[in-house]
Amino acid sequence: MIQRLLITSSKWSKKGMLNDIESIKNLARDEISNARCLQDIYDLKVKYLGKKGLLTGKLKSLGSIPREERPAFGRILNESKNFIESLLRKQEDIFKSSELDKSLRTEQIDVTVPGCFIPTGHLHPITQVLDEISGIFISLGFTVEEGPEVELDYYNFEALNFPKDHPARDMQDTFFISDDVVLRTHTSSVQVRVMEKSSPPLRVIAPGKVYRCDADVSHIPMFHQLEGFMVDRHIHFSDLKGVLELFIHRVFGRDTSLRFRPSFFPFTEPSAEIDISCVICNGSGCNVCGGTGWIEILGAGMINPRVYEKAGYDPELYTGFAFGLGIERVAMLKYGIDDIRLFPENDKRFLEQF
Amino acid sequence: MKASYIWLKEFVDFNLLPEELSHTLTMAGLEVEAIEEVEEDTIFDIGITPNRPDCLSIRGIAREISAVLEIPSKDISAGVEKEEGEGPVVEIENSGLCPRYSSRIITGVKSGPSPEWLSKRLESCGIRATSNIVDITNYVLLELGQPMHAFDLDKLSGKKIVVRQAGAVNKFRTLDDEERDLSKETLLIWDAEKPVAIAGVMGGRNTEVSESTLNILLESAYFNPSSVRRTSRSLNLSTESSYRFERGVDIEAVTLALDRAAQMIAEIAGGRVTKITDKYPGPFEPKKISVSFKKICSVIGVDISESFVEKRLRNLGFRVEREGEGIVAIPPAYRNDVERDVDIIEEVARLYGYDNIPSTMPFMQMSSPPEHKRQELVKILKNSMTKSGFSEVINFSFLNPDALEKLNLPSEDRRRNLVYIKNPLRKEESAMRTTLIPSLLNNVSMNLKRGEKMLRFFEVSRVFLSSGQKLPDEITQLAAIYHKDMSVSIWQDKHDGFYNLKGALENLFMELKIKEYSFERDTSSVEPYLHPGKSCSITINSQKAGSLGTLHPGVADAFDIKGNVILLEIHDIEKIQMALPGKTTYVSLPMYPYVERDIAIIVSKDITVEQAKKIIQGIDSDIIESITLFDIYTGKPIPDDKKSLAFSIRYRSAEKTLTDSEVDAVHSRILKRLEAQLKAELRS
């Protein structure tokens, strides 16, 4: 049939030309739709549109038709070329995408092989709890202060109204460096240091390491405390309750109840100990709270005027509160850790849980 | 302090079950730490804070219950029924140390076991019963809080009492048959010739009451609290007696207790009681404390009625008078803790009930707090190290001095100058750390023993260096340790750990935008505990700031560590703080494309990458943008004493697109310079 087309086209006639073009288009359409693979498409492209292609041949013969017919035929031939090209492209796309699909199907990876990364390290749980607690107070406008860990007896005791030869000193087993230098037994030692260099209003927290000469199943000789204090002209005991309540609710949740009990610290008057409802048993009684449903968590009180006197503040003008809490204790309750000695041990399996 | 439920009930007729009483006491500030059921009784173990010596007795606790519950308490009406003869002679040399001393003699007593009720009561409160005379003194101690002592009168020379300091006497044998060393200031009780007791602490062996004792001299006194405490501390001897004296007993109840004990002895052990001798050279002066109602309400933060204040203070035994817009309160003698207005306020708050005080939020002026620069830096350091795979450890600040030996630190090293603890718990914790390294090595050693692998730890903590001042210098250091384990992971890590740790630090510097740092091989400054060939010092802003290197194998052995250990130390994080750039400034993005050319050279093995890089950087051309090492190769076909270094160099001009010939010109100058200065050959 192709032979015949070629023969009929050898002599110009308008009708013959139109028939030829139509036949080429039909033939191309049939052949393209019968193509089996990408290569067939490439072959057909050459056959119709290549240098010696059927349609190309017609285009070449444009010169031999009468001048006045040329524009019309030119247009027809171009449309036919576009028509065949678009059929070819369409079919080519179909074959290409199916071939890609086929080859992708053979390229499999095992997605269950572990990923490749530097495993992240872990912050010590004490750091995490300290950061969380500091963050709460910083958001309330407190500033962070530090003081020396090897501290003068004066700042650790004397200025906080623990006179020498006073039984109140028995409350804290002290490591001594010399007669008047100790390892600070509490971060309260920062109080008078701060008061000496700044004047009210004060909102300060002092986190850090403290030392007690005591080691058994529930005591370690170095642990962490956070001291907080606030001094201004009209600070009330009720404000202490408000601030600590807010803090406890942020750390342990709004459902936690607080209980304020009278107590004694030489540097606060009135003094209080604060219990929270046991976070383990919700107050029904367990071995963590000793069956009482309450857990002691904070010591606090209104700053004793004697401390202001040491710092050179007018005790008639200023009032304020101070509180201190043990970070290990908070961490133990928060994470359900039952042995305080795990903190300084630094077992990798322990550290990696936080 | 142990207190019996039944005994308390004899003093105040409360209508509370033991659990309810326990709660009441706790919420009043007398914390019940334990409750124990004993036969028909309940024993409360109460933590009495040091400010409340008045509660170190049944009578004192009962007074407190009575005040809290607002029900009357019955008081002791002790009196000696029959007195015969004059009381003993008592002389007090220093009334400041002994403001009151009262005494009676009881003759013709019959020593023997106590009646059952008495010994039972003592034992339920934790005191062992011995014989009637001693048991009665202990009974009165528990009941009234007044320590008592009975001397065997017949062993008292001159049958008199002198209260005087030890002076030249420096040894004394106490009741427990221990020879005690005395200081000159120790207050003693003497007879006409010799010391017979350490005042307020313990009686002497020489005048002890025994089964054969017929006549006794009974002491009830008030000794200066500080003096008793000093004595008790220096003797390292704390007794029921010294415990109360050093906190302060009720000076006004001294004779009440004496009479109570004398009468009980007369009743139980028989005998005739003499008249009283009561030397009271330092009489009690009541304190008058003024406080306004306004201040009470302001400090507590709630409106409390005037009548409440007056009534509840009276319940506590205070005398209260109105004075202007407030009151004058006069605390009883046994409340030696109440000294100023805030103490009165505390009493009011306590009886009002802390739980009844509302919670409020303080009003305070806004202010701009100073920045927490150092804490911020510490936070960044810690977070950056965790990102690089290191976990934080927090070790005790203590140091075992032997560890410095193991680290090979020379004797003149500053870290040898230790701050020692006078009373350490263990020798291994007897000094303060001057370096974090031993702690980290112990962390690795311990974890290895437990079978853990992939150990990467860091610590940011203070070290304590002697300063010549009273307080040492406290310097915050960063130290990290990397233990390379030999097990293979599926993602092969070719390095021995040195570069992992170095990379962690470089990453930290990148995070902090610190550019002025270098790692320098300088054998003189390498730490003695590091491998001399695999260590370097870290320089920040041309200052030595720390060290990095492989642990010396000898030191690894000393710390019982197998495997490869790399250590990093920044000796003072202040050095990092000072190197922080002030601000970040934007540099405009380049307009023109770059051209990248590689260059691989063969050099002698001892040439460092840094040397080669410096030479390239030294080329006088403004189109070299960056130099990146991408390969180090040793092995065939490179000769044994040589290695190949391959750099990728990026060229870019700020003014135009570079042509090949412009790049070629600089590139070939680089090669020529490397050939000339490092005897490098181009690797083909």
∠ Cα B524 B680 B518 (to 5°): 35
Round to whole Å and give the CA distance between A312 and B420. 33
Last residue of a domain, one of B298, B319, B352: B352
Quick one: pLDDT at residue B23?
A: 94
Do B132 and B223 lie in one domain? The reply is: yes
Three-state DSSP class for residue A206 = strand
A104: closest CA of chain B, how far (Å): 26
Which of A335-339, B249-253, B437-441 shows the lowest mean pLDDT across its residues? A335-339
Cβ distance B31 to A273 less than 8 Å, yes or no, reads yes
**Cβ contacts of B144 within 8 Å, gap of 6 or more:** B57, B58, B59, B76, B250, B253, B256, B257, B260
In B, residues 490-509, which contact A (CB 8 Å cutoff)? 490-491
Count the residues in chain A.
Answer: 354
Tokens 């936080």 correspond to A354
Residue B365, domain member (yes or no)? no
Banded model confidence at residue A99, pLDDT cuts 50, 70, 90 = confident
Cβ distance A236 to B471 less than 8 Å, yes or no, reads no
Quick one: pLDDT at residue B524?
A: 66
Mean pLDDT of B462-480: 96
Report the residue from A113, A121, A302 with minimal CB separation from B389: A121
Banded model confidence at residue A3, pLDDT cuts 50, 70, 90 = very low
Cβ distance A236 to B301 less than 8 Å, yes or no, reads yes
Cβ distance A149 to B474 less than 8 Å, yes or no, reads yes
* A195 interfaces chain B, CB cutoff of 8 Å: no
Do B546 and B610 lie in one domain? The reply is: no
Cβ neighbours, 10 Å, residue B20: 11
Last residue of a domain, one of B519, B548, B579: B579
Do B428 and B463 lie in one domain? The reply is: yes
Q: What is the gyration radius of the CA atoms in chain B, in angstroms?
A: 40
Last residue of a domain, one of B251, B279, B307: B279
The terminus-to-terminus CA distance of chain A in angstroms comes to: 83
In A, residues 14-53, which contact B (CB 8 Å cutoff)? none
* A57 interfaces chain B, CB cutoff of 8 Å: no
Do B228 and B333 lie in one domain? The reply is: no
Mean pLDDT of A90-119: 88
Answer yes or no: is pLDDT of A2 > 60: no
Quick one: pLDDT at residue A213?
A: 93
Which of A160-164, B226-230, B366-370, B518-522 shows the lowest mean pLDDT across its residues? B366-370
Quick one: pLDDT at residue A252?
A: 93
The terminus-to-terminus CA distance of chain B in angstroms comes to: 91
Answer yes or no: is pLDDT of A12 > 80: no
Banded model confidence at residue B496, pLDDT cuts 50, 70, 90 = confident
B222: closest CA of chain A, how far (Å): 17
Do B555 and B608 lie in one domain? The reply is: no
Question: Does residue A201 have a cis peptide bond before it, meaning omega lies within 30 degrees of 0?
Answer: yes
Cβ distance B27 to A209 less than 8 Å, yes or no, reads no
Answer yes or no: is pLDDT of B128 > 60: yes
H/E stretch holding B134 reads helix B132-144
Cβ neighbours, 10 Å, residue B159: 16
**Cβ contacts of B229 within 8 Å, gap of 6 or more:** A165, A166, A167, B242, B246
Do B243 and B390 lie in one domain? The reply is: no
* A193 interfaces chain B, CB cutoff of 8 Å: no
ipTM of this complex: 0.90
Answer yes or no: is pLDDT of A6 > 70: no
Round to whole Å and give the CA distance between B347 and A69. 121
A317: closest CA of chain B, how far (Å): 11
> How would DSSP label each residue in A238-279?
HHHHHHHHHHHHHHH-TT--EEEEEEEETTEEEEEEEEEE-T
Mean pLDDT of A342-351: 97
A196: closest CA of chain B, how far (Å): 16
* A334 interfaces chain B, CB cutoff of 8 Å: no
Report the residue from A150, A261, A348 with minimal CB separation from B31: A261
Mean pLDDT score across all residues of chain A: 90
Report the residue from B361, B423, B472 with minimal CB separation from A175: B423
Do B569 and B633 lie in one domain? The reply is: no
Banded model confidence at residue B617, pLDDT cuts 50, 70, 90 = very high
Do B27 and B99 lie in one domain? The reply is: no
* B50 interfaces chain A, CB cutoff of 8 Å: yes
Round to whole Å and give the CA distance between B342 and B334. 18
A–B interface: beta-carbon pairs under 8 A: 237
Helices and strands in chain B, H and E counts: 19, 31
Round to whole Å and give the CA distance between A297 and B566. 41
Cβ distance B357 to A241 less than 8 Å, yes or no, reads yes
Highest-scoring range by mean pLDDT, A68-77, A95-104, A286-295, B460-469: B460-469
Pairing between β-strand B277-279 and β-strand B289-292 as defined by DSSP bridges: unpaired
Which of A50-54, A208-212, A321-325 shows the lowest mean pLDDT across its residues? A50-54
Cβ distance B354 to A152 less than 8 Å, yes or no, reads no
Do B435 and B348 lie in one domain? The reply is: no
Closest to B196 in 3D by CA, of B224, B160, B232, B221: B160
* B396 interfaces chain A, CB cutoff of 8 Å: yes
* A149 interfaces chain B, CB cutoff of 8 Å: yes
* B350 interfaces chain A, CB cutoff of 8 Å: yes
Answer yes or no: is pLDDT of B267 > 80: yes
* B370 interfaces chain A, CB cutoff of 8 Å: yes
In A, residues 151-190, which contact B (CB 8 Å cutoff)? 151-152, 165-168, 170-171, 175-178, 180-181, 183
Mean pLDDT of B290-314: 96
* B342 interfaces chain A, CB cutoff of 8 Å: yes
Cβ neighbours, 10 Å, residue B449: 10
Pairing between β-strand B187-190 and β-strand B202-203 as defined by DSSP bridges: unpaired
* A131 interfaces chain B, CB cutoff of 8 Å: yes
Round to whole Å and give the CA distance between B274 and B80. 9
Do B229 and B327 lie in one domain? The reply is: no
- CATH number (domain holding residue B678): 3.30.70.380
Mean pLDDT of A319-339: 95
Number of folded domains in chain B? 5
Do B298 and B443 lie in one domain? The reply is: no
Closest to A258 in 3D by CA, of B281, B555, B604, B357: B357
Quick one: pLDDT at residue B523?
A: 63
Closest to B457 in 3D by CA, of B361, B391, B376, B533: B391
pLDDT above 90: percentage of residues in chain A: 65
Residue B626, domain member (yes or no)? yes
Report the residue from A242, A302, A305 with minimal CB separation from B359: A242
Quick one: pLDDT at residue A72?
A: 86
- Residues of chain B with Cβ-Cβ distance to A183 below 8 Å are 421, 432
* B473 interfaces chain A, CB cutoff of 8 Å: no
Structure token pair of residue A299:
């010591």
Round to whole Å and give the CA distance between A124 and B461. 12
Mean pLDDT of B278-300: 95
pLDDT above 70: percentage of residues in chain A: 97
* A348 interfaces chain B, CB cutoff of 8 Å: yes
- CATH number (domain holding residue B37): 3.30.56.10
Structure token pair of residue A239:
């404000």
Residue B586, domain member (yes or no)? no
Mean pLDDT of A274-303: 89
Helices and strands in chain A, H and E counts: 13, 10
Residue B259, domain member (yes or no)? yes
Answer yes or no: is pLDDT of A31 > 80: yes
Banded model confidence at residue A292, pLDDT cuts 50, 70, 90 = confident
- Residues of chain B with Cβ-Cβ distance to A263 below 8 Å are 29, 31, 49
Structure token pair of residue B262:
């004398």
Mean pLDDT of A217-231: 95
Residue B630, domain member (yes or no)? yes
Report the residue from A119, A319, A346 with minimal CB separation from B395: A346
B487: closest CA of chain A, how far (Å): 16
Tokens 């607002």 correspond to B70
Residue, of A291 and A331, whose pLDDT is higher: A331
Banded model confidence at residue A7, pLDDT cuts 50, 70, 90 = very low
B523: closest CA of chain A, how far (Å): 32
Mean pLDDT of B354-371: 86
Quick one: pLDDT at residue A115?
A: 85
Answer yes or no: is pLDDT of A1 > 50: no
Residue B584, domain member (yes or no)? no
Strand partners, B566: B482, B550
Answer yes or no: is pLDDT of A5 > 60: no
Residue B82, domain member (yes or no)? no
Answer yes or no: is pLDDT of A172 > 90: no
Round to whole Å and give the CA distance between B203 and A79. 129
Cβ distance B392 to A165 less than 8 Å, yes or no, reads no
Closest to B550 in 3D by CA, of B572, B571, B532: B532
Quick one: pLDDT at residue B30?
A: 96
Cβ distance B386 to A116 less than 8 Å, yes or no, reads no
- Over residues B194-224, the pLDDT tens digits come to 999 999 999 999 999 999 999 999 999 999 9
Mean pLDDT score across all residues of chain B: 93
H/E stretch holding B501 reads helix B498-512
Answer yes or no: is pLDDT of B169 > 70: yes
Domains and CATH numbers, chain A: 2-106 (no CATH), 125-351 (3.30.930.10)
B538: closest CA of chain A, how far (Å): 23
Do B58 and B176 lie in one domain? The reply is: no
Quick one: pLDDT at residue A70?
A: 85
H-state helical runs in B336-436 = 341-352, 373-387, 402-406
Cα–Cα separations (whole angstroms), residue B356 to A268, B305, B306, B348, B583: 20, 14, 17, 12, 53
B478: closest CA of chain A, how far (Å): 14
- Over residues B35-78, the pLDDT tens digits come to 999 888 999 999 999 999 999 999 999 999 999 999 998 877 77
> How would DSSP label each residue in B41-87?
EEEEEEE--TT-GGGSSHHHHHHHHHHHHT--B-------S-B-SPP
A268, A304 Cβ separation under 8 angstroms: yes
Residue, of A19 and A235, whose pLDDT is higher: A235
Residue B521, domain member (yes or no)? yes
Cβ distance A242 to B362 less than 8 Å, yes or no, reads yes
Pairing between β-strand B89-92 and β-strand B160-165 as defined by DSSP bridges: parallel
- Residues of chain A with Cβ-Cβ distance to B385 below 8 Å are 121
Cβ distance A222 to B397 less than 8 Å, yes or no, reads yes
* A132 interfaces chain B, CB cutoff of 8 Å: no
Mean pLDDT of B474-497: 79
Highest-scoring range by mean pLDDT, A11-20, A65-74, B622-631: B622-631
- Residues of chain A with Cβ-Cβ distance to B247 below 8 Å are 167
Cβ distance A177 to B419 less than 8 Å, yes or no, reads yes
Quick one: pLDDT at residue A160?
A: 96
* A120 interfaces chain B, CB cutoff of 8 Å: yes
Contacts 24+ apart (CB under 8 A), B663-670: B663/B595, B663/B597, B663/B623, B666/B619, B666/B621, B666/B623, B666/B624, B667/B597, B667/B599, B669/B619, B669/B621, B670/B599, B670/B615, B670/B616, B670/B619
**Cβ contacts of A311 within 8 Å, gap of 6 or more:** A159, A191, A192, A195, A196
A344: closest CA of chain B, how far (Å): 5
For B464, the closest chain A residue by CA position comes to: A150
Mean pLDDT of B84-100: 95
> Which structural domain, as residue segments, surrounds residue B256?
89-279
